[in-house]
């Protein structure tokens, strides 16, 4: 298996500096930014949340806002052509489903390095993606 270049790479994006670093790393592994897919997964809204009850917020508007924010944050010329996606659900499952749907050869994502109780309570999206993915996953070790 050849590591470089990849035809299709997926990068989960949570608006952190670590996610931006993962996007930059992935750009080095592909021939064109058009082969890079950046996905942000929003958590599901709870039925009792005020915005849901009053009808002022819905998943579609949240996804539109996330897409707009990704385009703003990744607006430099080197990012031109990247495919952006925003979805709602369980982050690990949504990332893997999206990678499957685009035929990704690699998923590049940061590890936030949580340990102990924080990891137990929050879970690890990177762990879930590694377990479920059909393709290799490059987990970048990031400082706390």
3-state SS assignment for residue 50: helix
136: left (phi over 0), alpha (psi -120 to 50) or beta: beta
DSSP 83-128: EEEEEES-HHHHHHHHHHHTT-SEEEEEE----HHHHHHH--HHHH
Candidates 125, 144, 88, 143; CA nearest to 11 is 125
CATH classification code of 9-141: 3.40.50.620
Q: What is the pLDDT of residue 58?
A: 83
What's the pLDDT tens digit per position in 12-42?
A: 999 999 999 999 999 999 989 999 999 999 9
Task: Please compute the mean of the pLDDT values over residues 123-128 and round it to a whole number.
Answer: 81
Tell me the domain boundaries of the chain: 9-141
pLDDT exceeds 60 at position 123? no
What's the pLDDT tens digit per position in 37-68?
A: 999 999 887 766 666 566 667 888 899 999 99
Q: How confident is the model at residue 1 (pLDDT cuts 50, 70, 90)?
A: very low
């Amino acid at each position: 298996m050849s590591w470089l270049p990849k035809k299709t790479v997926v990068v989960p994006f949570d608006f952190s500096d670590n996610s931006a670093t993962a996007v930059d790393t992935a750009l080095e592994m592909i021939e064109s930014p058009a082969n890079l897919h950046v996905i942000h997964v929003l958590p599901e809204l709870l039925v009792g949340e005020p915005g849901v009850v009053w009808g002022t917020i819905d998943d579609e508007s949240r996804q539109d806002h996330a897409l707009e924010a990704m385009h703003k944050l990744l607006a430099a010329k080197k990012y031109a052509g990247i495919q952006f996606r925003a979805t709602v659900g369980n982050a690990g499952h949504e990332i893997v489903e999206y990678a499957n749907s685009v035929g990704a050869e690699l998923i590049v994502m940061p590890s936030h390095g949580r340990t102990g109780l924080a990891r137990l309570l929050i879970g690890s999206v990177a762990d879930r993606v590694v377990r479920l993915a059909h393709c290799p996953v490059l987990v970048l070790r990031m400082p706390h």
